[in-house]
Amino acid sequence: MPDTRPGAVKNSKESVFDLFGQKVLVIVGKGGTGRTTVARILAELGTRSGRKILVIAGTSGTHFSDHENPLLSFSSLEPGEVLISYLNDHGLGQLGKRLSSTGIASIISTAIPGIADLLVLAKIKQMERSDAADLIIFDAPASGHFLRLIATPKGLADIAAAGPLQKQSRDVLDMLADPKRLGVALVTTAEETPVKESIETMEKLSAQSGIKARALFVNSVLPSQIDDSAMASAANTDTPSHRAAQYTNARAQSQRKFDQLAAEKLGLRPLEIPLVPTVELGDSDIIYLADVIKSRIRVRL
């Protein structure tokens, strides 16, 4: 009987996702789907192969556990903070700390929508050009915001008067357009809203910048489905185990439907991340999940 479980390895290694096929890997997904989890798994896989990995969080709020791993470094780029430091470096430093309190930074970011986001991408580009890491994993902000972020350099490059920003925009556009330099990994859960949002995000992303997703991670997939015959053979079918089995099967069925929908619409083979029975993933959980993913993808060593 063919194994149709959502988390099952359908065709080992058939899903070829080369982790090092690009220098920058952007993790995109709806809020709450587990972008940081995917970033951690990919960082684990990357450092295993002896490469230097830099994880950049798109918000200052994200926490990434402190690693002893010398190959792994972490940094965060909060757009507001990046804008202020840019303005400081470009002659507005005389206002010093008052730059944010005088409201000038917020006037500038409102007058030039996306300027802060552009500067975030420019920072990433700068790190990409340096030898800071072999792979930069960008744990991007939630997908709605990310779309705006990606649209920024194009919008700004069109404004001739943008001065020094013009070059920044062009450089960032070059990076976005080059699949050898930058790739996107999508994250979703196998539910209606996140899957639909992922499909929409990729359509817009593709139309705006030609960026295509390299990999599709489906998070929190129930690890098993119960064999119906085992359930039917029992004399009493109203036991805790039966109720639990019915629940698991109903959810697994629903998950499979959306897993398939995502796969079909996005043209990617989903890489399922099993649901771990915990409220917070520890380092050992990440190692386990990295093993699961490694069995499905090619990691160039």
Partner 1 sequence: MSLELIEDSRVIICLGTGGVGKTTTAAALGYMAAKAGRHVCVVTIDPAKRLADAMGIKELDNTPKKLETSSDIDLWAVMLDANSTFDELVQRFATSPEQVEKIFHNSIYQNLTENLSGTQEYMAMEKLHELVSDQRFDLLVVDTPPARNAIEFLNAPKRLIGFLENRFFRLLISPTQSVFRPVTIATRMLLRTISKVVGAQVVTDAVEFFQAFEGMEAGFKERASEVQDLLAQESTSFVLVTGTHKDTVEEALYFASRLGEFDLEVDLVISNRVTPDFGKSTDEDRQNLSREMQENLDYLIKLRTAELEELSRLAVIVDRSRHILVPQLAHDIGSLSEIQEIGEVLIDSKSRFVNSVSP
Residues that bind partner 1 (CB under 8 A): 30-33, 59, 61, 87, 90-92, 94-95, 102-104, 106-115, 142, 148, 159, 161-165, 191-194, 223-224, 226-227, 230-231, 234-236, 239-248, 250-251, 254, 258, 275, 277-280
Q: How far apart are CA 287 and CA 131, in angstroms?
A: 26
Query: Of 94 and 284, which CB lies nearer to partner 1 in the complex structure?
Result: 94
Cβ at position 51, least distance to partner 1 in Å: 28
The candidate with the shortest Cα–Cα distance to 269, out of 23, 8, 49, 26, is 8
Query: Of 155 and 179, which CB lies nearer to partner 1 in the complex structure?
Result: 155
Query: Of 212 and 251, which CB lies nearer to partner 1 in the complex structure?
Result: 251
Cβ at position 41, least distance to partner 1 in Å: 16
SS3 118: helix
Cβ at position 286, least distance to partner 1 in Å: 15
Cβ at position 71, least distance to partner 1 in Å: 26
Q: Which are the contacts of 124, defined by CB distance < 8 A and separation ≥ 6?
A: 24, 56, 77, 136, 138, 175
In contact, 9 and 296? CB cutoff 8 Å: yes
Query: Of 121 and 182, which CB lies nearer to partner 1 in the complex structure?
Result: 121
Cβ at position 211, least distance to partner 1 in Å: 22
Query: Of 227 and 283, which CB lies nearer to partner 1 in the complex structure?
Result: 227
Locate tokens 């439907």: which residue? Answer: 257
Cβ at position 19, least distance to partner 1 in Å: 25
DSSP letters spanning 226-240? --HHHHHHSS---SH
DSSP letters spanning 241-277? HHHHHHHHHHHHHHHHHHHHHHHHHHTS-EEEEEPPS
Query: Of 21 and 113, which CB lies nearer to partner 1 in the complex structure?
Result: 113
Which DSSP state fits 67? P
Q: How far apart are CA 41 and CA 290, in angstroms?
A: 5
Farthest-apart Cα atoms in the chain, separation? 80
In contact, 69 and 46? CB cutoff 8 Å: no
SS3 60: coil
Cβ at position 169, least distance to partner 1 in Å: 12
Cβ at position 43, least distance to partner 1 in Å: 18
The number of beta carbons lying within 10 Å of the beta carbon of residue 64 is: 16
Token pair, residue 187, equals 């994250």
Phi, psi dihedral angles at 69 (to 5 degrees)? -60, 115
Query: Of 16 and 234, which CB lies nearer to partner 1 in the complex structure?
Result: 234
Query: Of 3 and 280, which CB lies nearer to partner 1 in the complex structure?
Result: 280
